[in-house]
Amino acid sequence: MEKSKEPIRIRKRALRNGNISLYLDIYMNGKRSYEFLNLYLVPEKTRADKEKNKETLKLADAVRAQRVVEFQNGRFGFEDGYKLDTNFLDYYRMLCERRHQNPESLGNWGNWYSALKHLERYCRPDMTFRDVTPAFVQGFKDYLDKTARVRDKRKKATTTEDMKPISNATKVSYFNKLRACINQAFEDGIIPRNPLRGIEGFKLEERERVYLTLDEVRAMAAAECKYPVLRNAFLFSCLTGLRKSDIEKMKWSEVRQQGEFTRIVFKQKKTGGQEYIDINPQAVAFMGKRRNPEDHVFPNFSYSSYYLMELKRWAVRAGITKDITFHSGRHTFAVMMLDLGADIYTVQKLLGHKEIHTTQIYAKVMDKKKQEAAMLIPPILPIAGDEQSKK
């Protein structure tokens, strides 16, 4: 018996520039159609070219396999009951607006809009969820990794030469927004299968947490700062771990007396999480005199490049050469708490972290077990007194 032909095959078409375009040849119900994958093989001049082509072919075969499964389960594309003709960018904008309207429970909507700008550059305006394939997802990841650029705020001009690549942390953030959008579309029944399978996201690079020791905090408190509100806000952060965004918006209505403790009841601007933090009396002193409930605790404090430069000058006057930013205050608080013996779960609550692994980064910075282990090494150099006694 003659073996039936495969209904979906990968085909190749040579292009004028020497590349080879990959597409699917689909034959169903006596009709032939083609799906162009926007995947290309390059001339193999180096080992890197061979590896790239190998990965491209694997991705193309993954798309072909997905189409075969869809064909075997019924109609190609699973159109019955799904909304594959939904405009992709319109759907993403809807998710942005949903977060804008409800930032307290849905998180940082600003990053969603920032990622949208890059999706608008990468996608066709009329693109639908039919086009949201593994190749599309991989393509956007490659765009973020190699092509995406943003304006360098340190330069006035906006020409291509004055643009800079986005940071690794931004790549992670923007790609995760696409993932969240696709996952939500899958949950909403817009797409039959999730095209994210098999595609890894960017890995967040571990960065140094620049923090101050307790003696350095004392030195900062003793040194002159040009802006008193900056001095009070930064030292307040060192003693509470609050982010500058939460310090900027803090009002006296959020500051309450809870027995002998002063408690701050607020919602984190970054995560929308409801927080209840009891603060040290020394931190209370930096807040100043209580005013009306709707008054800001740190009036006229809006962190800027001017404040950043003064923060660095202030640190130099205190004899500190570390490259600190305002966020160093939060790092300082976390490391200080662990160094003074607070357990990691308490520090997690004080910082308002949703996941313990975020707090564990600080435990890695301040690992007393490693310090104790390092001190176990006996002396290998002669002690001055012993040398004298031998003479």
User: Are 234 and 138 members of one domain?
Assistant: no
pLDDT confidence of residue 3 = 45
Region 377-391: mean pLDDT is 66
The whole domain housing 11 covers: 1-76
- Of residues 371 and 113, more confidence is placed in 113
pLDDT of residue 103: 55
Residue 390 lies in a domain: no
What does the DSSP 8-state code read for residue 90? Answer: H
Beta carbons of 155 and 162 less than 8 angstroms apart: yes
Q: What is the CATH number of the domain that holds 369?
A: 1.10.443.10
261 and 357 assigned to the same domain: yes
* 83 and 166 fall within a common domain: yes
Stretch 28-44: mean pLDDT: 79
> What would the pLDDT profile of 335-350 be if each residue is shown by its tens digit?
999 888 888 898 888 8
Q: Has residue 115 been placed in a domain?
A: yes
Based on the domain organization, do 367 and 223 belong to the same domain?
A: yes
Are 241 and 334 part of one and the same domain? yes
Answer whether residue 380 is part of any domain.
no
pLDDT band for 326, please (50, 70, 90 cuts): very high
Q: Can you point out the beta strands (E) in the chain?
A: 8-14, 20-28, 31-41, 149-151, 163-165, 255-258, 261-267, 274-279
From the list 116, 112, 100, 115, the residue with the least C-alpha distance to 272 is: 100
Q: How many residues does the chain have?
A: 391
pLDDT in tens, 213-247: 999 999 999 999 999 999 999 999 999 999 999 99
Query: Under a CB-based contact definition with an 8 Å cutoff, are residues 136 and 92 in contact?
Result: no
Claim to verify: residue 60 and residue 85 sit in the same structural domain: no
Annotate 101-162 with DSSP letters as a single string.
H-HHHH--HHHHHHHHHHHHHHS-TT-BGGG--HHHHHHHHHIIIII-EEE-TT-S--SGGG
* Shared-domain flag, residues 312 and 351: yes
- What confidence category does residue 89 fall into, taking pLDDT thresholds of 50, 70 and 90? very high
Structure tokens at 36: 């162009």
Confidence band for 121, pLDDT divided at 50, 70 and 90 = very high
Q: What is the CATH number of the domain that holds 180?
A: 1.10.150
Check pLDDT > 80 for residue 14.
yes
Q: Measured in whole angstroms, how far is the alpha carbon of residue 29 from the centre of its chain? A: 47
- Amino acid identity for residue 74 in this structure: G
Instruction: Please state, rounded to an integer, the average pLDDT across all residues of the chain.
Output: 84
Shared domain check, 200 and 269: no
Q: What is the pLDDT of residue 255?
A: 95
389 lies in a domain? no
Domain count across the chain: 3
Q: Are residues 176 and 238 in the same domain?
A: no
The predicted pLDDT at position 83 comes to 81
CA distances, 237 to each of 157, 294, 331, 384 (Å): 35, 21, 9, 45
C-alpha–C-alpha distance, residues 132 and 88, integer Å: 8
Of 286 and 367, the structure prediction assigns the larger pLDDT to: 286
In a domain, 291, yes or no: yes
Task: Please say which residue of 41, 76, 111 terminates a domain.
Answer: 76
Q: Does 381 fall in a domain?
A: no
- Residues of the chain by 3-state class (helix, strand, coil), percent to 5: 50, 15, 35
314 and 178 within one domain: no
pLDDT greater than 90 at residue 7 = no
What pTM, to 2 d.p., does this model score? 0.56
Contacts of 67 (CB under 8 A, 6+ apart): 8, 24, 26, 35, 76
pLDDT in tens, 39-80: 889 999 999 899 989 988 988 888 888 777 766 665 444 455
Using CA atoms, how far residue 333 sits from 204, 214, 236, in Å, is 23, 9, 10
Residue-level pLDDT at 319: 96
pLDDT digits (tens, 9 = 90+) for 192-207: 888 988 788 887 666 7
Residue 384 forms part of a structural domain: no
